[in-house]
Structure 1
């Protein structure tokens, strides 16, 4: 028996959430800042549908990741799915639009859905917004360096300055497996174990390798690589010594050196990036440089953003070789991190002023005053029902509106308005023609 509307309990699916105005304002602030930075670096916006054909998504993911996809049954036997990330939609878009000029630089800010176990403290949700930035159509690692430099700009301008962007190369990881004479499956197991280092520590990785049946030689080599320290150039030298000059390792190291040099040329603070030969990134489609930004000493937050080169992925859909590199900026995770670190800007509303309704006869004056201020570029709300001014002031206070305006009969006859600053309680009566300027001086959002 179906429940009536009155019997249905309002609730949310775990891992999803509402954004009330105060938090949405902060989130929109971040998105607006990111858009400006993306476009400063020459990236252009795209949007794609929330739904894709299931076979297109599974064509990339498969295996364990397939379990994280939300399928959608559709009439006629067709199966759709909610997008898991924004990379497959990009691959499909490029395949369907061969006329796009290459290199194609795009950014995309849209929600994605994952049938995962939510971890709310870590900022991990089933529905969340991703900010993806990708350069398609060039094999130059200068494109990778540009994206890493852009990540640095994004985090710094959002106020997150205590982060480190770690850089590695998948070619180096594959060289480790080759050096140890391991097959593809065993090599993948080692990479996945190393990828857990930040969560379980070196000893945890050693334990997993032992439980997976790897001998002491494998464990010793992997441990040695995870414990490499020194400057970036010293780390690269020690890594190549361990791998005995493996050709793939040398190639990967050279690409890393090019990226490090480009970051220095860009003026990126060297304290905010480093070569980490143990960085793995979990996704198997990476083919070259990989990178990940995180907060030191905040492992519960996880990575703020990450990415890398994936030269083989888009070609699966386009049926031609198309190199690509990109990053995903976890907006909700950064939002959670900034909230924990008290980095979010204040302000519960975007409204500059509330024009009170003195009485029913003053409705025309209230509406006209609001229109005047809006034309001056201010964000203005009005009170719709006649009520005691104390109640209207209380309403403004609850919403965090910084200024209230009263235009009663006396003010109307004199061509003036009374302006009250809510924070200080100070009031002043000003001529109508200088009202906008007065409100602008009392707020920080007027233009």
Structure 2
């Protein structure tokens, strides 16, 4: 009966009666998916140009990942970290090698990875750098999005995410994104880390000025401060390299990973760093019941192996060039600006034409799913398995929407 109810927008609203209204989804009810395509309960197909905010970098139900999940489901799903299981070491080793780091700490969600990074940086600051107890400070950027826990929203500049959730956690200094001078000036003897997204996704796929990330790396090294890169959305092939930091030859002290690491099947996140950083943790100081569970490790190991071939990074580079060329052709024809890298784009629509939400609704009517953010901006992040023809189709539908 519920399935029948969900076949109309009115029924969707009725179903939402039972759900806290923390999301405002498009009026589409998905029942199945394959590759780059989704199918709703009425059998209508949609090209997925959001990919679960990069959680579906390898498309829906990638056969290698599904096979790994099925095989593990028949053997073992959860032990907790009270015991060691036979998938754990391979996952940690292969992910550490992909990152070029000594150690990995598996968690579940992106927000957990960020919280872990904050805790590790503070502990490193006290035990290694010698910061006075209770004085550790982390520099972050305006327009950031690192999750929605109480600590994380404490340093958000998005009032929708932050308002009415105080009292807020202290220990953060906010500076303008892309402003190296402001970041450098904010660092003092109590600063333990700089936490940044190499490309700000939620803000509208904002790419920092050329030279900014190398400058951050240099300043952090000079000031004995950890550089933490939140690559939860930007990492794992999305931008055309394994990590967005790679485009400027930058290696952070700590990677925060998630979303695509779970292959679109299970939530998996991780922190990767060297022994001198992650080695500050001792048993009992940090953990997670489901972090690094057998099912998660089995899937995520296959994700790492897919990335190790370089195929998906190449696809993102080549197909991303085609996507951005098509989008740039629409600037002045309804688009004000296009930003991004690889298969990731932020589009500013002329607000006199329509809002980002309205654009996404019109795209959905044409069988393309995307997501708006901050008024007249929409984001495109199709799965890395998308084809040239599908990219051209998405751009053509956007052009038709803008043309009215």
Per the normalisation by structure 1, the TM-score is 0.23
Q: Which has the larger radius of gyration?
A: 1
Higher relative contact order (CA 8 A, sep 6+): 2
Calculate the TM-score normalised by the size of structure 2: 0.25
